[in-house]
């Protein structure tokens, strides 16, 4: 069992408390979820608050278990404060990308910590690109950088095809946040792990190219 820092425990507890409040109070849920129309009317708090709401306990548990397993991979090399910065920045990056791609869809709504958690995951991979990760139905370990690249390529596909009731753009935006902020905090990675820094940038550059050429929609 991982020995989490107090900061990570507080973040997980905040997600649990706010989510359960949303489960039992529909007005609260509707007031603080991500909604394009409401945000455009000036309710910017939703850009932050929506990251602590979840659709159900399964959604909540999945995000918190992922955070539980990867938080220390960011906290140990960068510290508690930088972990919080990466978490919050990734949450906001994810919602900003969602807002950008859905700016003309006032009805579009979303909730969940997935953007923030994906940012932490991508940060952890950037800090240790050869970490071993396991996926369901795959009995062999996958290098972290391979998983990270594959995950974002799938997110691009999910954005293009609008697969499932999943905020693929928020996941992708969160990863961008984790990537950028981690490099700003640890610029030495550009010298020690330049190859992996470049490889992990490929999906981000691909998204930009697809968008600019009109092939994303």
Distance from C-alpha of 91 to C-alpha of 112, rounded to nearest angstrom = 9
Spatial distance between the Cα atoms of 114 and 60, rounded to a whole number of angstroms: 9
Beta bridge partners of 70: none
Give the pLDDT confidence score for residue 2 in this predicted structure: 64
What does the pLDDT read at residue 158?
78
pLDDT value at residue 137? 58
Which residues contact residue 36 at a Cβ distance below 8 angstroms, ignoring those fewer than 6 apart? 99, 102, 103, 105, 106, 107, 108, 109
Instruction: Give residue 164's pLDDT.
Output: 58
Reading the block at residue 11, the tokens are 């973040």
- Give the CATH class of 6-212: mainly alpha
How many other C-beta atoms can be found within 10 angstroms of the C-beta atom of residue 190? 11
Over residues 25-60, the pLDDT tens digits come to: 999 999 999 999 999 999 999 999 999 999 899 999
Task: Pick out the chain residues at pLDDT < 50.
Answer: none
Instruction: Spell 1-10 as b/e; 16+ CB within 10 A means b.
Output: eeebbebbee
Composition of the chain by helix, strand, coil, percent to 5: 70, 5, 20
All structural domains of the chain with their residue ranges: 6-212
Q: In angstroms, rounded to a whole number, what is the distance separating the alpha carbons of residues 151 and 142? A: 12
Half-sphere exposure (CA, 13 Å, Cβ side) for 74?
A: 33
- The per-residue pLDDT for 126 is 96
């Amino acid at each position: 069992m991982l020995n989490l820092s107090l900061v990570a425990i507080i973040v997980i507890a905040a997600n649990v408390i706010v989510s359960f409040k949303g489960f039992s109070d529909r007005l609260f849920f509707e007031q603080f979820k991500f909604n394009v129309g409401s945000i455009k009317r000036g309710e910017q708090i939703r850009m932050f608050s929506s990251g602590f709401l979840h659709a159900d306990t399964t959604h909540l548990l999945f995000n918190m278990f992922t955070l539980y397993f990867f938080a220390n991979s960011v906290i140990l090399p960068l510290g508690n404060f930088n972990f919080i910065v990466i978490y919050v920045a990734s949450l906001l990056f994810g919602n900003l990308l969602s807002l950008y791609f859905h700016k003309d869809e006032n009805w579009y709504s979303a909730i969940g910590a997935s953007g923030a958690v994906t940012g932490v995951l991508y940060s952890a991979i950037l800090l240790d690109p050869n970490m071993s990760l396991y996926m369901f139905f795959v009995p062999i370990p996958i290098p972290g950088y391979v998983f990270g690249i594959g995950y974002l390529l799938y997110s691009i596909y999910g954005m293009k095809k609008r697969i499932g009731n999943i905020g693929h753009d928020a996941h992708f935006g969160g990863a961008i946040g984790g990537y950028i902020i981690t490099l700003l905090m640890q610029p030495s990675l550009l010298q020690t792990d330049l190859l992996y820094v470049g490889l992990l940038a490929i999906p981000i550059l691909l998204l930009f190219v697809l968008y600019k050429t009109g092939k994303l929609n």
